[in-house]
Amino acid sequence: MVDCGSVMGNGGHHPRRLSGVKMNFRDSGYALTYLGLAGILFVSIIGLEYAPGLKPCTGGGCWGAPEAYRIIYLHVPFAWCSFLSFCVLFYGSLMWYLNRSEEAWIYFQSGSDLGLIFGLGVITSGPIWASAEWGVPWDWADMRLNSFGLLTAIAVFLVYSRQSQPDTQQNRDTLAAIGLFGFVLVPITAGATKWWQTTHPPHLVVESGDTVGMSPEIRTFLLISFGLMCILFTGLFLLSNKRYRLAAEVSSRKNEIDQEAIS
């Protein structure tokens, strides 16, 4: 359990309260989150209005909806961040199994929350782009799409289950097992869809943009966007950890009060 001695030992003084707003910025989580949010707002404006678009016809073929390509500037960084979140989730699940520490559970909770948010971003923006470009919202043969879909579904499941189940070790074990199971399933899905992919017409395959025909300007802009998104991700990750650390303190404090007799 989290040590809540420091909280209880305050004896009526509340440094957190007195610190006010200024104190918040000493905490790097806040600063990084605000910076990251400002950054991706900047990326959005630039991405939608000024960033390099595509010529209607490049390479071998023409784009059906060349402007929809701008989705990539948030979509791909979102996808990478969601992958980072699922790594955090995987790490949390694994560490929970290895040492059953509160710290591991905090990582698990942050990982599933962030995975849900970034995963949802990927699997909503992806089909919007795909349906504009190819008229096909979802391609069952595409490995990346399906594995992100699967992982996001697992993140939804984990977030809701965590909130609706009693916080017991048994439930934590089960949820951590589901987290691991989901992560292990990804390479299997990847392998399976590789076989199927050969049977599908090539024009259906959704390109994630980091492969063929990307101009250096687009790549640079994408990397800037990813950098800013990473700042936001780190900020949110730190804040989320802080939130769950506080939640664990509150919960252990409440458990103590539960033991007190009614006056």
Partner 1 sequence: MSGITEAYIAYTIMLGLVIWFSRDVLTSILSLEDELEALSDEEVTASEEE
Partner 2 sequence: MNRNFDGTTQTQAARGYIVSARTLLSAQGLVVDRGARKVLRGVDFSISEGEVVGLLGVNGSGKSTLLESLAGLHPMAAGIVSRHDRGIEAIVRDASGQRGDICGFGLCLQSEGMCGDETVYERVRGACRVAGRADNPATLQQIISDWGLEHRAEDRICKLSGGLRRRVAVVSALAPIVLNPEPSVILLDEPSEGLDESSRGLLLRWLRSLAGRGHAILVATHDPELVTACDRLLIISESEGLSNQEQESIVDSAHLPEPSGAELHRELAAWAWRLERRNPIDTIGRGVPALVALLLAFTLSTDVVRSSENHDLLAALVLTPAFVTAIVAPALIKRLAEERTGDWWRAMTGASSRVWFSIMGVSLILPLPIIYLSWFVLADDAGSAMDSDVMLWLWLFAFVIIDLSAAASALHLMVSDLSRASAVAGILLQLVLIWPFLQMTSALASIMTDGMSFELALGEPIADIGIAWLTVVLLWAMAVIIPED
The interface partner of residue 85, options being partner 1, partner 2, none and the CB cut-off 5 to 8 Å by kind, is: none
The C-alpha atoms of residue 114 and residue 80 are separated, in whole angstroms, by: 12
Q: Which amino acid is it at 141?
A: A
Sign of CA dihedral 54, 59, 65, 71: negative
Task: Verify binding: residue 64, partner 2, rule CB under 8 A.
Answer: no
CB 112 within 8 A of CB 179: yes
- Of residues 53-82, those binding partner 1 (CB under 8 A): 64-71, 74-75, 78
Task: Verify binding: residue 239, partner 1, rule CB under 8 A.
Answer: yes
Task: Verify binding: residue 162, partner 1, rule CB under 8 A.
Answer: no
Sign of CA dihedral 71, 142, 230, 173: positive
Q: Which is nearer to partner 2, 163 or 211 (CB)?
A: 163
Residue selected from 6, 9, 13, 164 as contacting partner 2 according to rule CB under 8 A: 164
Task: Verify binding: residue 258, partner 2, rule CB under 8 A.
Answer: yes
Residue selected from 5, 166, 201, 216 as contacting partner 2 according to rule CB under 8 A: 166
Q: Which is nearer to partner 1, 193 or 238 (CB)?
A: 238
Q: Which residue matches tokens 């698990």?
A: 108
Q: HEC profile for 185-197?
A: HHHHHHHHHHHHH
The interface partner of residue 26, options being partner 2, partner 1, none and the CB cut-off 5 to 8 Å by kind, is: none
Instruction: Give the CB-side neighbour count of residue 21, counting CA atoms within 13 A.
Output: 0
Q: Which residue matches tokens 């509160």?
A: 102
The C-alpha atoms of residue 190 and residue 230 are separated, in whole angstroms, by: 25
Task: Verify binding: residue 124, partner 2, rule CB under 8 A.
Answer: no
Q: Which is nearer to partner 1, 104 or 117 (CB)?
A: 117
The C-alpha atoms of residue 115 and residue 220 are separated, in whole angstroms, by: 25
Q: Phi first, then psi: what are they for 250, rounded to 5°?
A: -60, -45
The residues of the shown chain that bind partner 1, judged by CB under 8 A, are 7-8, 10-12, 14, 16-17, 30, 33, 37, 40-41, 44, 47-48, 64-71, 74-75, 78, 113-114, 117-118, 120-121, 124-125, 128-129, 131-133, 232, 236, 239-240, 242-243, 246-247, 249-250, 253-254, 257, 260
Query: Which residues contact partner 2 (rule: CB under 8 A)?
Result: 137-138, 140, 156, 160, 163-167, 254, 257-258, 260-263
